[in-house]
Homo-oligomer: A and B are copies of this chain.
Amino acid sequence: MSKQIRAYADGDKLTVKVLLNTVTKGVTNKGAPYLSFVFQDGSGTIDAKYWNVSKEALDAFKPGMLVEVNGDVLCHNHQLQFRVQNMKEISQEGIDLRDYVKASELSENQLKFEIMKYVSDIQDTTIAKLVREMLKQREEKFFVYPAAQKNHHDFVGGLATHVLGMLKLADTLAASYPLLNRDLLIGGVILHDLGKLDELSGAIVTEYTMEGKLLGHISLMQAEISDTAKRLGLEGENVTLLRHMVLSHHGVYEYGSPVLPMIPEAEMLYLIDNIDARMSTLKKALEPIEPGNFTPRIFALENRAFYKHK
């Protein structure tokens, strides 16, 4: 593995493999085109400039590509910057992308194993069939996508990690509160965010797709469940209830739920989604803080600063 970005120093001359996080074209005051990048690997990111870029190279690079690049590191405005001499795309085959991005603490196999155990516990055949089919169609993406572009669980495998965290809570809560139907709750947890697989452009260097922006992951998934249930010939109330749970899981209109929770399982889905997201956000925010100090204000937590106790 080439030198990690976090280890770069002023004056380094390097040949390294990095992932292109962003690619932007610019023009100098003298009219010469150039390219700006953010390079990324598992250790961090760095800004880069490709001056004197050739005409062919100008359109050759896109976010998400893996490249081999040589050049030098310099200090510009108190920040390190990589000045590109040469750069070429390299194949992603045989490469473990987790070397280039932040990833879940759990491996893909662990996530699969743990989540599928909960699936196999579902007793209701309608829910079981629907959940299995939905997951089967999305197997490749489900265990690698992040849960969001930024914010909580924004790493490879983040979505499945988030779902697994919620399944554990669902398990306990279904036991504590008998008015909850366990199968519905488990089913709802697994399906609730699958729409993000269509809404986000990829597991790495994620962006929102045009469909994602215009329709939203909630509506995308609801239509998919309806479609899949028809295709499988599944009928009955539970299909409607699962669609309802997906639609209502943001809990309030302002966050894009067109209906609010109207069954206990939908209410609980919203509550545990919230708990797992908040704990993930807090963990990330508190990690770099010294005990006895406050975090900066955290936008996703109503702009509060949190105290790390001693």
Residues of A within 8 A of B (CB): 10, 29-30, 75, 78, 165, 168-169, 172-173, 176-177, 179, 181, 184, 210-211, 213-216, 218-219, 222-223, 226-227, 230, 237, 240-241, 243-244, 247, 253-264, 267-268, 271, 274-275, 278-279, 282-283, 286, 292, 294, 301-302, 304-307, 309-310
Docked-complex contact A304 and B261, CB < 8 angstroms: yes
Docked-complex contact B262 and A267, CB < 8 angstroms: no
Sampled A-B contacts (6; CB under 8 Å):
A10-B29, A215-B243, A219-B243, A223-B223, A253-B256, A260-B304
For A267, list chain B residues within 8 Å (CB): 278, 282, 301, 306
Other than A169-B176, A215-B243, A222-B222, give 14 A-B pairs with Cβ distance below 8 A: A10-B29, A172-B172, A214-B307, A216-B258, A219-B219, A222-B223, A237-B310, A253-B254, A256-B258, A258-B258, A264-B279, A268-B275, A271-B271, A271-B274
Q: How many copies, total? A: 6
Task: Select A223's contact among B227, B254, B257, B304, beta carbons within 8 Å.
Answer: B227
Residue of B nearest to A275 (CB): B271
